Chain A
Amino acid sequence: MTAAASASRPAAGGSREVILRRIRAATGRGPGPVAGPADSAVDAEYAAIPRDYLRAHHDPADHDVIALFAERAADYRAVVQRVPADGLPGAIARALSSGMYVVPDGLPPEWLGRVAADCPGVVLAGDDPPLPARALDAVAGAITGCTVAIAETGTIVLDHGPGQGRRALTLVPDFHLVIVRHDQIAADLADGMSRLDPARPHTLISGPSATSDIELVRVEGVHGPRTLHILIAGPPS
């Protein structure tokens, strides 16, 4: 916490001490100094927690993991297409209708190689300088890559690095075209999560925006993009 922030809230230090002391008393450790962030005995106890669950539910030797991802993503009403790597530029061009599409920095330019020729009504726009939220609300869609996909749950994961854009880019527009390379697909949740860097922001996306708030019936399309179009690229045909 910055000095300025703590100076504006004189009571905060007091509540911190009070809560940490209450926890110490409640867990039967009697009076003593309040805990600090480091404690190797706690870390050793954590490491010894039994984890008897299966970190993998689908062995890639027995399962077509790409097919599983395609099936599970489609289960949640995403539009899913598998294309050979060399067919990707054509598939991207076919997925666009007309209007302005935002393309983040770092998206491989060759992926968009057919847009100019095949899509006369499409304008591609960058996000540098960043488009205001109202401008994003007016575009036809966003085109991005991803960092990982998880077959078991039909999930794509953005870490908002190169080719994925800042978080607002794939949120405000009503259409999101995402390209998943076949080698980005993890079979199961645990494997997928372990490939991520927690320091980065992440968005895990499993199908288009949905709600179950009316009679617990799932309805696709609330605040996020109402159409999620996934192109799975490769392996080469």
Chain B
Amino acid sequence: MSMPTYLGLPAFPEAAATALGNAQLRRNLAHATTTIRVKRAAAVAELADWQQLRAAGKAIKDHTLAHLDTYLARLEERVTDAGGHVHWARDAAEANGIVAALVHAAGADSVVKVKSMTTQETGLNEALAAEHITALETDLAELIVQLGHDQPSHILVPAIHRNRTEIRDIFLAEMADVPSGLTDAPAELAAAARTHLRRAFLSAKVGVSGANFAIADTGTLVVVESEGNGRMCLTLPETLISVVGIEKVLPSWRDLEVFLALLPRSSTAERMNPYTSTWTGVRPGDGPRDFHLVLLDNGRTDALADTIGRQALRCIRCSACLNVCPVYERVGGHAYGSPYPGPIGAIITPQLRGVTSPLDASLPYASTLCGACYEVCPVAINIPEALVHLRAEVVDAQRSSPHAERIVMGLAAWVLRSGRRLGLVQRAASASRVLLGRSGRIRRLPPPLNAWTKTRDAPAPPPESFRAWWARTHGGAQ
């Protein structure tokens, strides 16, 4: 599969080092993630049965994934019965091609878009541009990203790396109908976006969306949002095209009582988000006359085949794991080199794209394995477990080439097999203290050991090993 805009980006450690040098970015992120963490905790604490809801969410998703083919066939049948058209796309290019052909068939040269992770993943906007179709992002944060010629850095709030003043400056520079004297008050910025997009909504012929959930037994699509731009795109155009990952299917309408409890509280830390739209096929006299559902694989079946990695397909894109992650909070979303940043991105991206590029192979290491992400995940994805599993895959993939870590490990095994050899090495290490680490820390080791000290200090060896101390003092009994 491909995520075209991200090709050729540096591996995570290099990108992280650059991001860490940006003090403004770190301030913006720390402020935003701290705010949302506190609010989420309060919203979740309100429900005494949160853990049971979480367990049910996990169980429903696991069941659905185990029978994904049956549920997709059912969804297709019910959507078709309700007057919609269902298309299947093996990869990003096929999905983008289907959308472009549908836009051309509708006689349109532009589309209004609801914020959608899936179309970020497929690079739909760029693919449409190549077909001379303009894609207008209508979510406020996506608009900020689009106007700023930027990349999204958060699942829920793609412009989280921008503060209000930066956003005002982007609007002043890039928005043709920007009000003069615009301040950086969030309400004024939101009002400017409302005015800017209104004409586009009222004249749009084609809307493009993703979906949060697709209900198999009724053929119902569900979009959860806040601003009303989603309602505009889902309601006003004559043609609606929804690009939906195959893992978004739920068996039954009843399951919404679980997922509409889990998602808003985990995501925006609200009891319920301002607007949720559900629609089943087309309805004469209300909303689009033509509805197309594009079901996208794009690597998802590869993830499904991995018995540990497949739990990532439970993800409902709430972004709670980003907001609690100590790594994400410091480096931000861009370093992950994919529309899916943070802990969930570190396990989704390598599964969707494989671990052949240096960037994708570095993602499973973009974590301290502290486990905060697992704890807040509303569908109990064990992200640390998946990270460790993927690290093993990266190592397996690189096993054929010579590697400093394996040479050192082989040497260590030989040393540790003999007490005499270990004693000799420990004495040598203690002696090296004079050269390497008088401050108690080693800042730089010679190659190939500099792979370790490039990104961290190493503790200096102690002046005396435990074994040497024991021999000298008889265990302190002298």
A residues with CB within 8 A of B: 1-2, 5, 8-9, 11-12, 15-16, 18-20, 22-27, 34-39, 42, 45-46, 49-55, 57, 72, 75-76, 130, 133-134, 137, 150, 152-155, 160, 166-168, 171-172, 189-190, 193-194, 196, 198-225
Give Cα A46 to B276, complex, Å.
Answer: 25
Kindly provide the distance from the CB of B314 to the nearest chain A CB, expressed in whole angstroms.
Answer: 14
In the A-B complex, list the 4 residue pairs whose CB atoms are closest, starting with the nearest: A224-B228, A223-B228, A35-B69, A26-B305
Taking a contact as CB atoms under 8 Å apart, the answer to whether A216 and B272 are in contact is no
Give Cα A5 to B47, complex, Å.
Answer: 46
Taking a contact as CB atoms under 8 Å apart, the answer to whether B88 and A171 are in contact is no
Asked whether any CB of chain A lies closer than 8 Å to the CB of B121, the reply is no
Give Cα A106 to B34, complex, Å.
Answer: 47
Interface string of B133-167 (1 = CB under 8 A from A): 00000111100100000000000110110011001
Give Cα A172 to B202, complex, Å.
Answer: 9
Taking a contact as CB atoms under 8 Å apart, the answer to whether B69 and A215 are in contact is no
Asked whether any CB of chain A lies closer than 8 Å to the CB of B382, the reply is no
- Complex interface: chain A residues within 8 A of B430 (CB): none
> What are 7 contact pairs spanning A and B, CB under 8 A?
A35-B70, A53-B258, A54-B48, A160-B286, A193-B256, A206-B270, A213-B159
- Complex interface: chain A residues within 8 A of B220 (CB): 198
- Complex interface: chain B residues within 8 A of A225 (CB): 228
Taking a contact as CB atoms under 8 Å apart, the answer to whether B186 and A52 are in contact is no
- Complex interface: chain A residues within 8 A of B52 (CB): 51-54
Kindly provide the distance from the CB of B125 to the nearest chain A CB, expressed in whole angstroms.
Answer: 18
Kindly provide the distance from the CB of A211 to the nearest chain B CB, expressed in whole angstroms.
Answer: 5
Asked whether any CB of chain A lies closer than 8 Å to the CB of B174, the reply is no
Give Cα A117 to B310, complex, Å.
Answer: 65
State which of A15, A38, A190, A205 has its C-beta within 8 Å of the C-beta of B275.
A205
Among B189-197, B358-366, B402-410, B464-472, the stretch in contact with A: B189-197
- Complex interface: chain A residues within 8 A of B49 (CB): 52-54, 57
Taking a contact as CB atoms under 8 Å apart, the answer to whether B67 and A39 are in contact is yes
- Complex interface: chain B residues within 8 A of A20 (CB): 69, 72-73
Give Cα A150 to B53, complex, Å.
Answer: 18
Taking a contact as CB atoms under 8 Å apart, the answer to whether A206 and B274 are in contact is yes
Give Cα A152 to B297, complex, Å.
Answer: 37
Asked whether any CB of chain A lies closer than 8 Å to the CB of B226, the reply is yes
Taking a contact as CB atoms under 8 Å apart, the answer to whether A194 and B55 are in contact is no
Please report which residues of chain B, range 215-241, place their CB below 8 angstroms from some CB of chain A when the two chains form the complex.
215, 218, 220, 226-229, 231-232, 234-236
- Complex interface: chain B residues within 8 A of A1 (CB): 80, 85-86
> Which residue of A49, A134, A216 has the most chain B CB atoms within 10 A of its CB atom?
A216
Given contact pairs A76-B274, A154-B271, A204-B278, a sample of 19 additional A-B residue pairs in the complex whose CB atoms are under 8 Å apart: A26-B304, A27-B65, A35-B72, A36-B73, A38-B74, A49-B59, A53-B261, A55-B257, A160-B286, A196-B253, A199-B82, A202-B277, A202-B279, A203-B275, A203-B277, A208-B274, A213-B159, A215-B28, A216-B32
Taking a contact as CB atoms under 8 Å apart, the answer to whether A198 and B268 are in contact is no
Asked whether any CB of chain A lies closer than 8 Å to the CB of B344, the reply is no
Given contacts A9-B101, A25-B305, is CB(A171)–CB(B90) below 8 Å? no
- Complex interface: chain B residues within 8 A of A36 (CB): 70, 73
- Complex interface: chain B residues within 8 A of A75 (CB): 271
State which of A34, A52, A213 has its C-beta within 8 Å of the C-beta of B144.
A213
- Complex interface: chain B residues within 8 A of A12 (CB): 87-88, 98
- Complex interface: chain B residues within 8 A of A76 (CB): 270, 274
Please report which residues of chain B, range 265-292, place their CB below 8 angstroms from some CB of chain A when the two chains form the complex.
268, 270-280, 283, 285-287
Kindly provide the distance from the CB of A228 to the nearest chain B CB, expressed in whole angstroms.
Answer: 9
| Nearest-CB residue, chain B, relative to A54 | B49
State which of A23, A137, A219 has its C-beta within 8 Å of the C-beta of B69.
A23
Given contacts A37-B73, A37-B74, A50-B59, is CB(A223)–CB(B257) below 8 Å? no
| Nearest-CB residue, chain A, relative to B220 | A198
Taking a contact as CB atoms under 8 Å apart, the answer to whether A221 and B194 are in contact is yes
State which of A16, A137, A215 has its C-beta within 8 Å of the C-beta of B164.
A215
| Nearest-CB residue, chain B, relative to A136 | B202
- Complex interface: chain B residues within 8 A of A217 (CB): 35, 186
Taking a contact as CB atoms under 8 Å apart, the answer to whether A19 and B88 are in contact is yes
| Nearest-CB residue, chain A, relative to B115 | A213
Asked whether any CB of chain A lies closer than 8 Å to the CB of B31, the reply is yes
State which of A8, A26, A38, A221 has its C-beta within 8 Å of the C-beta of B190.
A221
Given contacts A27-B68, A212-B268, is CB(A168)–CB(B279) below 8 Å? no
Taking a contact as CB atoms under 8 Å apart, the answer to whether B273 and A206 are in contact is yes
